[in-house]
Amino acid sequence: MTKINQLGLFVAAAAITFACGGPSNTVETSEAQEVAVGEGKTLTLDTASSTIGWRGYKPAGEHYGEIPAASGEVTVSGNEITGGSFTFDVPGLKIEDIPATDENYGKLYGHLQSPDFFDAANFPTASFEITSVEPFHSGDSIADTEEYASEHAPKHNSELTPANPTHWISGNLTMRGTTKNIKFPAAVSVSEGEVSAKAGFNINRIDWGLSYGEESDPANKAKDQFIYNNVSLELDVTAK
């Protein structure tokens, strides 16, 4: 076979793989996708035992806390998740690195709720809707992105991923009226009448319009006066 024919076959195979949407071994954000139509038994999110942690970074330090889940459900068929949707209470956001009695707590909370970030007055909820669930194979790995070096650079996706992930979960995340699809690895357990899932990954807040203090400005980078675009999310959810 000539080199030209070999190249043609390689390009064709690559095009077919791309067109079929073959899974990639990385956390990624893309345009919104069609929501999965769940089949099987519907379980209700246990909001009391489910946590959604967040962590933001800047060269001078970090802030972290939780955003409470207001409601949600997961659909399962046998031992497989077939669908699900969750709603989060943005005004209920908590900051855990500053005492609630400290005046800086109120300042940071107010700033996060303002149009600079979540714009909670206009968008009081965020939501996540599952679009697909795929097996996580033993050969899969988590690709990391390079971050601007500082003492408080964001954690890598490989650091945030739980031990022994079982699935790749994709879903539409909506914040500030913007919907993007995110894909991440998760450790999922499905037993009779209960589903539990743990996951950790980064999202680029700029994709959802939370652009205050973004790190792209070279002058701000030189002074270490910026907020990293990547924000870490850590999920530990249970549905019964």
Do the domain assignments include residue 168? Answer: yes
Q: Is there a contact between 228 and 154 (Cβ–Cβ < 8 Å)?
A: yes
Residue range 22-47: mean pLDDT, rounded:
88
Q: Tell me which residue range forms the domain holding 130.
A: 27-239
What is the tally of structural domains in the chain? 1
Do the domain assignments include residue 101? Answer: yes
Do the domain assignments include residue 11? Answer: no
Residue 159: CATH number of its domain: 2.40.128.110
pLDDT value at 48 more than 80: yes
128: left (phi over 0), alpha (psi -120 to 50) or beta: beta
- Could you tell me what percent of the chain has a pLDDT over 70? 90
- Alpha helices, H only, the chain: 3-19, 103-113, 157-160, 218-222
Do the domain assignments include residue 9? Answer: no
Do the domain assignments include residue 56? Answer: yes
Q: Is there a contact between 199 and 184 (Cβ–Cβ < 8 Å)?
A: yes
Q: What is the pLDDT of residues 202-214, one digit of tens each?
A: 999 999 999 999 9
Do the domain assignments include residue 149? Answer: yes
Do the domain assignments include residue 216? Answer: yes
Do the domain assignments include residue 12? Answer: no
Q: Is there a contact between 162 and 199 (Cβ–Cβ < 8 Å)?
A: yes
Q: What is the pLDDT of residues 91-108, one digit of tens each?
A: 999 999 999 999 999 999
- Alpha-carbon 89 to chain mean position: 16
Q: Is there a contact between 228 and 220 (Cβ–Cβ < 8 Å)?
A: no
